[in-house]
Amino acid sequence: MSRVHIQGLNITFGGHEVIRHLDLDIHAGEFLVLLGPSGCGKSTLLHSIAGLNPVSGGRIDIGGRDMTHAEPSARGVGMVFQSYALYPHMSVRDNLAFPLKMAGAPKAEIAARVARAAGMLQLEPLLDRRPAQLSGGQRQRVAIGRAVVREAGVLLLDEPLSNLDAKLRAELRRELKLLHARLGNTMVYVTHDQVEAMTLATRIVVMHQGEIQQIGTPAEVYEQPRNLRVASFVGSPTINRLAGRVQDGRFHCGGIGLPHAAADGTALTLGVRPEHVLIGDGQPFEGRIQLVEPLGNQHLLWIEAGGTLLCAVLPGQPQLALHDGVRFGFDAARQLWFDEAGDRLAHP
Ligand SMILES: Nc1ncnc2c1ncn2[C@@H]1O[C@H](COP(=O)(O)OP(=O)(O)OP(=O)(O)O)[C@@H](O)[C@H]1O
Ligand SMILES: [Mg+2]
């Protein structure tokens, strides 16, 4: 396992700055997830660690050595691409062995490493098949295996599960987590799926337009988002956002009013996660059910209140029906306040 240390990284494509003066310290042995919307620069950052992008400025150290301009093969990293990129004319065994053959490894060692990777990824029964004779999930396992055989200190994965259906994705996600526990190497994983990020990561890096918004454990990013952007990107259904102003010691948004100590006229946004919306007769606000979505073990209530639409998540089966009136409030301890620029206020 290796530490990856990135300092002041700049990456420019055709005069357009895609990564802007980025600092990132990836701890040895951690499962770091790069999370962010499409086009924010996740793949570009990952590819720069792999040595697949020319770097315009800054420095990348891998395992304590300056690798900023080193050849990809000299970096001690394995890479898994979203498109499986398997050799169609080769068997699974030969696909797995290929990177080791290219590196000039002795035959016996190649066989031993291929056997080890195949065992870990349940590929043994498939070793003599060709990629066309495999399912999508099996192909992706081979692609992961081909990076694993290198037994590199750092494994880089770019949306490796996005071509799979939901059930297979969840299954392979668990396998990846177990694989990381077994290998103990450093993993850097790119996704725009916040569920993958939350379930896999030891730390999540939330990116936006080539810059890091926040780095933290899944719990930190979820419970203490640095700004509205992070709060909105992490969590499903999305956090409720109520934009309003303070007047006479109260924050007002539509028909919702809450005590707040900020000066008159201060613009604020209140963020409340759907599980922190409370429903019951004793609650202070009144709304109307606009939509009910049963999910089996829980259900979502969409509530219209004074021109604002709020989502509440509740356990079990729905007790309220469409157009019913409903009383609701917010868990006071879980309210998140953001200023006009979208930054979270440490002391609301
Ligand atoms: N080789 C390239 N030449 C020019 N522009 C590029 C190149 N590669 C990426 N870009 C641009 O850099 C930005 C970041 O792209 P990148 O592929 O890193 O995004 P991403 O976060 O991985 O998005 P996605 O989730 O869609 O894969 C985009 O605006 C993209 O158009
Ligand atoms: Mg990408």
* Shortest-distance atom of ligand 1 to CA 40: 21
Which of 12, 13, 156, 208 best tests ligand 1's pocket when mutated (most atoms within 8 Å of CB)? 13
What are the structure tokens assigned to 14, written together? 């055709």
* Alpha-carbon span 328 to 312, nearest angstrom: 9
209 close to 320: Cβ distance less than 8 angstroms: no
pLDDT of residue 169 exceeding 90: no
* Shortest-distance atom of ligand 1 to CA 207: 21
* Alpha-carbon span 70 to 64, nearest angstrom: 13
pLDDT of residue 53 exceeding 70: yes
pLDDT of residue 47 exceeding 90: yes
Q: Taking all residues of the chain, what is their mean pLDDT, rounded to a whole number?
A: 93
- pLDDT exceeding 90 applies to what percent of the chain? 78
Q: How far is CA 178 from the centre of its chain?
A: 18
Q: Where in the chain is the domain with CATH 3.40.50.300?
A: 4-227
Higher pLDDT pick, 323 / 336: 336
Calculate how far, in angstroms, residue 79's C-alpha sits from the geometric centre of ligand 1.
Answer: 17
Mean pLDDT along residues 275-293: 96
Mean pLDDT along residues 273-291: 96
Does the structural domain 240-338 have CATH classification 2.40.50.140? yes
What are the structure tokens assigned to 340, written together? 């006009």
Mean pLDDT along residues 170-184: 89
Minimal-distance CA residue to ligand 1 atom 18: 41
Q: Helix crossing, 136-148 with 107-120: angle to 10°?
A: 130
pLDDT at 348: 66
Q: Where in the chain is the domain with CATH 2.40.50.140?
A: 240-338
Minimal-distance CA residue to ligand 1 atom 14: 41
pLDDT at 58: 97
**Pocket lining: 40 vs ligand 1, CB cutoff 6 Å:** yes
Note the pLDDT tens digit of each residue in 96-126. 999 899 889 999 999 999 999 898 888 999 9
Minimal-distance CA residue to ligand 1 atom 2: 13
**Pocket lining: 79 vs ligand 1, CB cutoff 6 Å:** no
pLDDT at 204: 98
Does the structural domain 4-227 have CATH classification 3.40.50.300? yes
Mean pLDDT along residues 160-165: 84
